[in-house]
Structures are given as C-alpha cells and as structure tokens.
C-alpha cells in the first residue's frame, strides 16, 4: 500500500487571467510559479491548451513551455495537454522535438482528444483538417513514430524530433483514453480536477487493459486535483470562492476571468448551480494542511495513484504560491 510520502506531486497551471489583469502578467506569474514549485520539490509543471477563453492564457502551449523550461533548471515541463485533433501530428512532433533538444530529459507531451474549445473555435483552428476525435488513436501512433528512432524506409521525419523519444502521456476525462493508454502501455492522467465522477472507473479500465511496452512495464496513474490550501480552514474557504465563481461562470457560458474572493456565495448562485459546482470540484482539497493531509491519505488509499497533479486557481498570485508551498510540506510528511 502506498503512503502519501511515496507519491510524486506536480503542478497543472491553467495560467489564469484575473479581472483587470493581462495575459502578459499571467504568463510571467506562470514562470514565477514554476520557479517556486521547482524549489518546493514538485516533479513536473504542466500547462494546458485552451482556446477562445478570456481567463486562460496558455493557448500557444509549446511556445509557453519553451519560456517555462528556459526559466527553470530541473523540474519537468509539459503539456497537460496538447489537444491533438487541433494539430497535424508532425507539427507537434517538431515542436516537442525542438523543446526536448533544447531541454533534454525535461519535456513531457500529454495528449488529449477534446478540442479545448467550442466547436466554432475548433473549426477556426483546423480549417482544412477534419480533426476528428475518431482519428485520435491513429494520430497518437503517428506522433509516437515521429518521436521514435528513424527507420530505413521512413520518408517523413520530424527534425528536430526523430529519436528524441519524448515521453507521451494520454489524458482523459472519460473511459476512451483510459483504455487506449492501457493498450498502448502509456502513462495515463485522469482529469479528476473537473470530472471526478468517472475517476475510479477510468483507473480500473486503464489498469485492466494495460499491456507492458517499451516505455512502461506496469500502469502509471496520475490524477488531477483542485487545490486551495491556506493556513486555516476559514481562510481556505474564503479563497475558494474565487474558484467557485470561475466554475459557475464556465457553466453559465460567461467570462472566465478570475474574480476576487467574497465573504459568501449566497446570492451569487442558485441551489442547483451550487450543487453542480461542488460536483465539478468533488475531489478538491480545500483547507488547512492538516485537513488536506487527511483527505489526501484517503484518496491515495482508495486509488493507489502513482502521482497527483494539483491545480490552484486563486485570485492573488501570492496565495497560489503559498498554497503550493503548504501542499509540499504535506506531501513530504
């Protein structure tokens, strides 16, 4: 049985843009956060591809990763994830092959099959490409080939890319990628930071379908976890209202810019919206270090996960940094 101290811990940064803030400041904050969590002992720092969202500044994911890798020295950096249907596999192989060539041994390529946007934006991104999620298994295989060793009869190569063997992860919020990751023998990250309902089933499907591969001899599961850590439970509950407002706005189709915390959410949401937000954040770790430690120990006991990747969407950047600092103290025991 795994203990909390056995578990690797990482950061997923959604590069949030705050009310009256700017994308430029959010990108600088992302680097500052990466530098801090590197010192705190985090294993990896991932950013995700989203489009047409005014509150998330990580749309040019591979460009941002170059900035983050260049400003850090030891922490792994990667995509959590690149939405592969938006791109030709060769383009992603070249981008991540370039990153791996510049920062060897520090780059992760997490892949998702969703658009990371609405359908209208997906069409604007893809133009002549069909970009169907149905093509995802073939696109993953093509991408892995470009990153692997060059074969004598290979007519198209990724340069840089060929022979870099950038670690490929499959990401998912449903069961499709869980099964595919298992069958391909790839590490799997489940998006339990926003879809906790399917977490246990996805883990079961992944482990049941796992076949050893050249990259993994046994399953490797990483789980996404929302985080609001503060010195006291009361302070954490207050800070979490920024997260609640952001998820509520997402559900209503409103602006996703970060809003400052409020003393109470009463009057801001309807009863069914409150329930939906809490379902969305069903795995959230909100509270003091003592409270979070107890909840994490239960999560590890129930899932036997190999790694947890935390996302903390707080309004003040200093509160985010402190949240990750407190978590590191919990994880190290």
**Distance, CA of 26 to CA of 19 (rounded, Å):** 11
- Residue 260 within a domain: no
- Residue 134 within a domain: yes
- Residue 135 within a domain: yes
- Residue 271 within a domain: no
For the chain, what is the mean pLDDT?
94
Q: Partners of 223 in the beta sheet?
A: 190, 308
Give the CATH number of the domain where residue 148 resides. Answer: 3.20.20.30
- Residue 243 within a domain: no
Q: Partners of 44 in the beta sheet?
A: 76
- Residue 250 within a domain: no
- Residue 120 within a domain: yes
The pLDDT value recorded for residue 3 is: 87
Question: Is the overall model pTM greater than 0.85, yes or no?
Answer: yes
3-state secondary structure of 221: strand
β-pairing, 44-47 vs 76-83, is: parallel
The pLDDT value recorded for residue 1 is: 82
**Distance, CA of 47 to CA of 109 (rounded, Å):** 11
pLDDT digits (tens, 9 = 90+) for 260-310: 999 999 999 999 999 999 999 999 999 999 999 999 999 999 999 999 999
Asked if residues 292 and 325 have their Cβ atoms less than 8 Å apart, the reply is no
φ, ψ of residue 157 in degrees (nearest 5)? -120, 155
The pLDDT value recorded for residue 118 is: 63
β-pairing, 221-229 vs 285-287, is: parallel
The pLDDT value recorded for residue 42 is: 98
Supply angle C-alpha 216, 296, 55, rounded to 5.
85
Q: What residues have CB less than 8 Å from 88, skipping those under 6 apart? A: 129
Tokens encoding 243? 């997260």
The residue with tokens 């992302």 is 30
Indicate the number of domains in the chain.
1
Supply angle C-alpha 26, 83, 15, rounded to 5.
10
- Residue 280 within a domain: no
The pLDDT value recorded for residue 127 is: 56
Long-range contacts from 238-245, C-beta under 8 angstroms, 24+ separation? 238/263, 239/314, 239/315, 239/319, 239/323, 240/284, 240/286, 241/265, 242/313, 242/314, 242/315, 243/281, 243/284, 243/313, 243/314, 244/269, 244/277, 244/281
Q: Range of 22's domain?
A: 4-230+292-331
Per-residue burial over 199-227, b if 16 or more Cβ lie within 10 Å, else e, is beebbebbeebbeeeeebeebbbbbbbbb
113: how many CB neighbours lie within 10 A of its CB?
A: 24
The residue with tokens 């099959």 is 113
| Grouped pLDDT means (10 residues each) for the chain, 333 residues | 91 95 97 98 96 93 98 98 92 98 98 72 62 81 95 92 96 93 97 91 97 96 98 98 97 95 96 96 96 97 97 97 98 86
Closest CA to 75 of 123, 29, 102, 37: 37
The pLDDT value recorded for residue 195 is: 86
Q: Partners of 172 in the beta sheet?
A: 190
């Amino acid at each position: 049985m795994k203990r909390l101290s056995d578990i690797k811990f990482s950061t997923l940064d959604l590069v949030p843009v705050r009310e009256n803030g700017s994308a430029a400041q959010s990108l600088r904050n992302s680097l500052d956060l990466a530098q801090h969590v590197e010192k705190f002992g985090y294993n990896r720092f991932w950013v995700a591809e989203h489009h047409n969202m005014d509150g998330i500044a990580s749309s040019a994911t591979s460009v941002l990763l170059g900035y983050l890798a260049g400003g850090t020295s030891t922490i792994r950096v990667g995509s959590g994830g690149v939405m592969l249907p938006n791109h030709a596999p060769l383009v992603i192989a070249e981008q991540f092959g370039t990153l791996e060539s510049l920062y060897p041994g520090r780059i992760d390529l997490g892949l998702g099959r969703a658009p990371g946007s609405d359908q209208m934006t997906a069409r604007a991104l893809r133009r002549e490409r069909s970009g169907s999620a149905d093509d995802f298994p073939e696109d993953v295989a093509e991408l892995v080939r470009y990153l692997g060793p060059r074969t004598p009869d290979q007519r198209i190569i990724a340069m840089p890319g060929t022979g870099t063997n950038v670690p490929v992860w499959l990401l998912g919020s449903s069961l499709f990628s869980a099964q595919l990751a298992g069958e391909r023998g790839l590490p799997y990250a489940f998006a339990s930071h926003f879809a906790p309902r399917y977490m246990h089933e996805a883990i079961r499907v992944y482990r049941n379908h796992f076949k050893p591969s050249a990259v993994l001899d046994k399953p490797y599961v990483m789980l996404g976890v929302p985080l609001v850590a503060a010195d006291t439970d009361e302070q954490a509950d207050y800070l979490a209202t920024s997260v609640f407002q952001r998820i509520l706005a997402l559900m209503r189709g409103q602006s996703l810019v970060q809003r400052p915390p409020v003393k109470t959410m009463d009057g801001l949401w309807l009863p069914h919206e409150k329930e939906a937000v809490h379902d969305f954040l069903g795995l959230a770790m909100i509270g003091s270090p003592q409270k979070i430690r107890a909840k994490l120990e239960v999560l590890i006991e129930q899932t036997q996960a190999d790694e947890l990747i935390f996302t903390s969407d707080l309004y003040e950047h200093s509160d985010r940094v402190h949240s990750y600092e407190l978590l590191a103290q919990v994880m190290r025991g």
